[in-house]
Structure 1
Amino acid sequence: MKLAVVGGGSTYTPELVDGFARLRDVLPVSELVLVDPAADRLELVGGLARRIFAKQGHPGRVVTTADLDAAVDGADAVLLQLRVGGQAARNQDETWPLECGCVGQETTGAGGLAKALRTVPVVLDIAERVRRANPDAWIIDFTNPVGIVTRALLQAGHKAVGLCNVAIGFQRRFAAALQVDPAQIFLDHVGLNHLTWETGVRLGGPDGQDLLPGLLAEHGDTIADSLHLPRTLLDRLGVVPSYYLRYFYAHDEVVRELATKPSRAAEVAAMERELLELYADPALDSKPELLAKRGGAFYSEAAVDLTASLIGSGGSRHQVVNAHNRGTLPFLPDDAVIEVQATVDAHGAHPLPVRELDPLYRGLIADVTAYEELALEAALRGGRDRVFKALLAHPLIGQYAYADDLTDRLLAHNREHLAWA
């Protein structure tokens, strides 16, 4: 089995490689190709990847290359984890929206739109090259904004599924609180990528006992602290929102906080420099503890499970993924991409039925879905007016003066990445 990782020079990659090594019985990888144009980073990451495989007795070989076509040729699955413009572009995404009094974040609001505009054309080019090399290969997208990128891939007819680590993170934390095996925890996870709620926590499967009320009663303070939201809000909602909902539920508070400290991109850039120094040590043969602070916790386990099911080596399983709506949420178009529990098998991801949602959640999901449709249109066709309309539609912006100002700033900071600008 051959897997290719586009963006293989990412400091995330050892997390992924560690999962491939530990879970080789689930996903028997014979060749892992890490492809990245950044040769220096790629060799450091590739060297550590080989040492991780060797330490854990994995028989597969790790190949590094800058040649995308060679990397995807014959691949059974291609994982996308790229960042167009690197941390420098992310730093801009997290900075200039604050100048307008709007949240600056890499996947939400105006910064998220900028990332989508830079990313979608690049991803679609990669996907076309994958299709030419092997039309049966699956594309697994971990590249943010996952919902918009996955919608672009599916709209273009690619075999693609989007993946995020938010759900598996909740699953692991709830399992620890309940002192049960994570595999026993089934989440009623619903919404869009980075706009989701856990409306139930079930033991044993989709029809199992809902343990969420007890979790909130006994562990509500801990859960609320991890989300940086008040316990009283969780008690009033009776659900657990993704921490990304804080950008909506406490927008002005978050803007004030972000304006007083370095951007997350600056923190990550410093962390990446330190990680790369660690990766250069030929004695290092396991992922360092510092990597846990980089983000992407449990990404490897989610990726292994999803890949194994899609290529047929892991059978079918329930997993939270990003896939076409197709009537699952009846208030959204069928071609919207939602993030829900699905049955995943060699034919793709098939969303499970979702219990009726409170209008509080339906309304916000519908608004952000409309924004994502406009964002994708702007990414595919370009044009200032399309960017403006997407920003105007976003619930965190919604005023024409803000949308105009943000449009000008977005274009000024991203011209080198936008062919049409």
Structure 2
Amino acid sequence: MRSSNIITITGAGSARTPALVGSLVKYKDRFPLKKIIFYDIDNERTSKMEDYIRLVLKTYCSETEVVFTTDPDIAYENTDFVFCQMRAGKNEMRSLDEKIPLKYGLVGQETCGPGGFAYGMRSLGAMIEMVNQVRKHSKDTWILNYTNPAAIVALGLDKVFPDDKRILNLCDQPYSLMRSFAKILGVEQKNLRATYFGLNHFGWFTGLKDINGKDYFEQLRTYLRDHDFRPYNAEQRSKSWLDTYLRVNKYMKFFDEYIPTTYLQYYFFPDEIVAESNPNYTRADEARDSREKEVWEICSKAVNAKSIDDVEIITNSVFGDLMVELAESIAYDLHSEFILMSRNNDIITNFSRDAIVEVAGTVGKDGAHPYVYGEIKPFYKGLMEAQHAYELLTVEAFLEKDYVKALQALTLNRTVINPEKAKAVLDDLMEHNKDYWYLEKKN
């Protein structure tokens, strides 16, 4: 019988939370829970789903204590794991992150380009505050961070808390791609093992085998050269997301040595993406009118409900499954394999040692154990060095409140390049983010 855990979900007002609860129910025997604390500074959003969450957990996890709070001391005073999924500025700021760059003919995306820069600056402040609040209560609590943009957040936290080994930053994109690969190949995802390198949202699969050593990489690579790439849950995706996967096919018409992650589309085909974008209706609007609307409608059915019978259970969350599997591997020292983020320290032997790289590895009770990848080729090294420099300058701009470093960061970003556009979009983003961060022009 496995010991029970106490977890805190930070950013519990996220529309992703009900699906995360679905994952906790799904894994309740593998990752039993004594207590779940739902914490958010915005009680308005959390209250929309409280009845739903309580009903689901009462039905399927009656032994688990459930707490909702807006008090960080209650949230963090006695918890084993913090599952963090904050969005500083909520969807209102996400919408601006996506729309402001489009005014200047630049990619409008929440984690990449100028929008990702603005979001990263907001997230850094919120995440640093959160880590300090957690560590006020315990140095042993595990912080599993899903807050985006993960590359900037992970690098910033590593700079501010370099000796804290119980912060793990994660992203479900490689995990989700593995699920799609498994469907294409007709094998179970749990039996696949990937070779992979990159930065978060900026990486490549270079090998794929099953647990018995059978190599599937050439089969998968051939398939993606000759067939449209569709995600495993294509019927649930909007057209913009389906187009995102199709651009993997387009990338591979030029460079088919490795299989890219989907986010590389923004760096290789920015002009095409801008031309296809609606500056008045972006993915923030799509999410509000589709996924979020559906979540709120399902949650509303649980208000005053006595039984779960008439309420749909939200499940099959890639990010939720990843979060719980990672916590399970830590709690019970399983050394399960993931694609994870870690300080490089010669994991990629010819790359910056202080970069936060994304590679395959295992996780156990003492944290991440990334596999050494070795050298990468000049083309990928050049791309990654520029992207790392952008991430590093963004973190330094935030910590030092340095306008010039922010301008340099955006000029380096492959979605921008033009310093005139970089300055115009930076000034606009600064004005709209003045409640969250500011920069100074230093001598």
TM-score where L is the length of structure 1: 0.92
Unaligned runs of 5+ in 1: none
CA distance in 1, matches of 2:285, 2:142: 33
Q: Residues 155 and 58 from structure 1, CA distance in 2 versus in 1: closer, same or farther, beyond 3 angstroms?
A: farther
CA distance in 2, matches of 1:323, 1:47: 38
2:321 aligned partner, one-letter code: E
**2:8–2:83 contact (8 Å) kept in structure 1:** yes
Q: Residues 251 and 356 from structure 1, CA distance in 2 versus in 1: closer, same or farther, beyond 3 angstroms?
A: same
Which residue of structure 2 aligns with residue 211 of structure 1? 216
Which residue of structure 1 aligns with residue 229 of structure 2? 223
CA distance in 1, matches of 2:352, 2:366: 22
Cα offset for 1:274?
4.2
Cα offset for 1:309?
2.1
SS of structure 1 residue aligned to 2:206: strand
Select the residue among 87, 103, 108 that pairs with 1:104. 108
Select the residue among 186, 190, 195 that pairs with 2:193. 186
> 1:134-283 maps to which residues of 2 (within 5 A)?
134-157=138-161, 158=164, 159-204=166-211, 208-218=213-223, 220=225, 221-223=227-229, 227-229=245-247, 231=249, 233-234=251-252, 236-259=255-278, 262-271=281-290, 272-282=292-302, 283=305
CA distance in 2, matches of 1:261, 1:361: 35
Cα offset for 1:161?
0.8
Unaligned runs of 5+ in 2: 231-242
SS of structure 2 residue aligned to 1:95: helix
**Does 1:365 find its partner at 2:391?**
no
Cα offset for 1:260?
6.0
**2:351–2:381 contact (8 Å) kept in structure 1:** no
Cα offset for 1:368?
0.5
**2:97–2:108 contact (8 Å) kept in structure 1:** yes
Cα offset for 1:266?
1.2
> 1:297-376 maps to which residues of 2 (within 5 A)?
297-310=317-330, 312-354=331-373, 356-376=375-395
1:203 aligned partner, one-letter code: D
Q: Deviations over 1:110-159 (max 9, x none)?
A: 11110111110111011011011111011111000111112222222232
Q: Residues 288 and 317 from structure 1, CA distance in 2 versus in 1: closer, same or farther, beyond 3 angstroms?
A: closer
State which drifts further: 215-224 or 168-177.
215-224
SS of structure 2 residue aligned to 1:17: helix
Q: Deviations over 1:59-109 (max 9, x none)?
A: 212211111121011111111101111111011111111111111111111
Q: Residues 71 and 366 from structure 1, CA distance in 2 versus in 1: closer, same or farther, beyond 3 angstroms?
A: same
SS of structure 2 residue aligned to 1:417: coil
CA distance in 2, matches of 1:314, 1:136: 15
CA distance in 2, matches of 1:173, 1:400: 38
SS of structure 1 residue aligned to 2:433: helix
SS of structure 2 residue aligned to 1:223: coil
Cα offset for 1:170?
1.4
CA distance in 2, matches of 1:145, 1:299: 15
CA distance in 2, matches of 1:74, 1:165: 27
Q: Residues 307 and 286 from structure 1, CA distance in 2 versus in 1: closer, same or farther, beyond 3 angstroms?
A: farther
CA distance in 2, matches of 1:75, 1:350: 24
CA distance in 2, matches of 1:250, 1:230: 11
Cα offset for 1:285?
4.5
Select the residue among 2, 6, 26 that pairs with 2:6. 2
Cα offset for 1:197?
1.3
SS of structure 2 residue aligned to 1:94: helix
CA RMSD of aligned residues (A): 2.1
2:229 aligned partner, one-letter code: I
CA distance in 1, matches of 2:244, 2:108: 20
Which residue of structure 2 aligns with residue 91 of structure 1? 95
Cα offset for 1:26?
2.1
Which residue of structure 2 aligns with residue 123 of structure 1? 127
CA distance in 2, matches of 1:370, 1:226: 25
Which residue of structure 1 aligns with residue 429 of structure 2? 410
**2:349–2:374 contact (8 Å) kept in structure 1:** no
Which residue of structure 2 aligns with residue 377 of structure 1? 396
SS of structure 1 residue aligned to 2:434: helix
Cα offset for 1:6?
0.8
Q: Residues 259 and 280 from structure 1, CA distance in 2 versus in 1: closer, same or farther, beyond 3 angstroms?
A: closer
CA distance in 2, matches of 1:231, 1:119: 32
CA distance in 2, matches of 1:163, 1:33: 21
Cα offset for 1:237?
1.4
SS of structure 1 residue aligned to 2:196: strand
State which drifts further: 213-222 or 228-237.
228-237
CA distance in 1, matches of 2:248, 2:359: 25
Cα offset for 1:397?
1.7
State which drifts further: 37-46 or 232-241.
232-241
Cα offset for 1:12?
0.1
**1:184–1:203 contact (8 Å) kept in structure 2:** yes
1:24 aligned partner, one-letter code: K
Q: Deviations over 1:210-260 (max 9, x none)?
A: 312112323541327661226364254132211111111211100101146
SS of structure 2 residue aligned to 1:11: coil
CA distance in 1, matches of 2:247, 2:357: 24
Select the residue among 286, 309, 313 that pairs with 1:287. 313
Cα offset for 1:189?
2.2
CA distance in 1, matches of 2:324, 2:76: 18
SS of structure 2 residue aligned to 1:357: coil
- Identity across matched positions, percent: 28
